[in-house]
Amino acid sequence: MNQPTALLDVRDLVVRYGTVTAVDHVSFTVDAGETLALNGPSGCGKSSTVAAVLQLRRPDGGRVRFEGRELTTLTERELRPLRPRMQPVFQDPYGSLSPRHRVRDSVAEPLRVQGRWDATGPARVAALLDRVGLDPAYGDRFPHELSGGQCQRAGIARALASEPRLLVLDEPVSALDPSVRAGVLNLLADLQDDLGLAYLFICHDRAVVRHFADRAVEMRGGRLVPA
């Protein structure tokens, strides 16, 4: 498990808020192409772990190694070229897209920001929407004109635009209607099979975890406990 080939290798991660230790020496690895589920009750430190892994909040201790590079010691500028390779997908589908941009522009944004926008851009956006099961005509719409499931698919398309190796999925289906959850889970399974993506999958539904994840770890009070 500790072989240097792990895509993501988190060791002794610590996150503190004042005197409260939210994440207390947490260690895990995620290999390329696999799904590691992280579950646990509200307040157990899951979201703090996610933020520290993505370097959205710098951890107070421990290390985060991604594709063989230690992230915790990098500057913001040094992190920038690595960030596209680890993309988050959040719980609230409408919160992940700008309400004022058409879906097409939200999906195109990573390409533009990363300097990869060229004459093929529109076709690539259409292909990404098609890849996540959305009719490319939906690109003209605004997020509020989509259903929750369609919006979550658009958020996944936006994450894919960066050509990531790791998706950090923070409760990606728990806000969705029951009749569309299975479809989004199937999409994530297909993408993993086809693109070799690794998933760090935050989820509190044990049946979903059992079905979807290769391995699972459970968090309580900031620590990993036996599942």
- Does residue 193 touch another protein according to CB under 8 A? yes
Task: Give which of 1, 189, 161 is closest to 83, Cα–Cα.
Answer: 161
Per CB under 8 A, does 126 bind another protein? no
> Does position 136 bind another protein by CB under 8 A?
no
**Least distance (Å) from another protein to the CB of residue 149?**
5
CA–CA gap between residue 168 and residue 146 (Å, rounded):
23
Q: Does 183 bind another protein (CB under 8 A)?
A: yes
Rg, C-alpha atoms of the chain? 17
Q: Are strands 20-30 and 35-39 parallel, antiparallel or unpaired?
A: unpaired
| Candidate residues 58, 68, 177, 221; the one interacting with another protein per rule CB under 8 A | 177
Q: Give the number of C-alpha atoms closer than 13 A to the C-alpha of residue 61, restricted to the C-beta side.
A: 12
- Report 16-35 residues binding another protein (CB under 8 A): 28-29
**Site membership for another protein, residue 181 (CB under 8 A):** yes
Which of 115, 39, 30 lies closest to 80, judged by CA?
115
Binding site for another protein (CB under 8 A): 1, 28-29, 41-42, 133, 147-150, 177-183, 185-186, 189-190, 192-193, 204-208, 210-218, 224-227
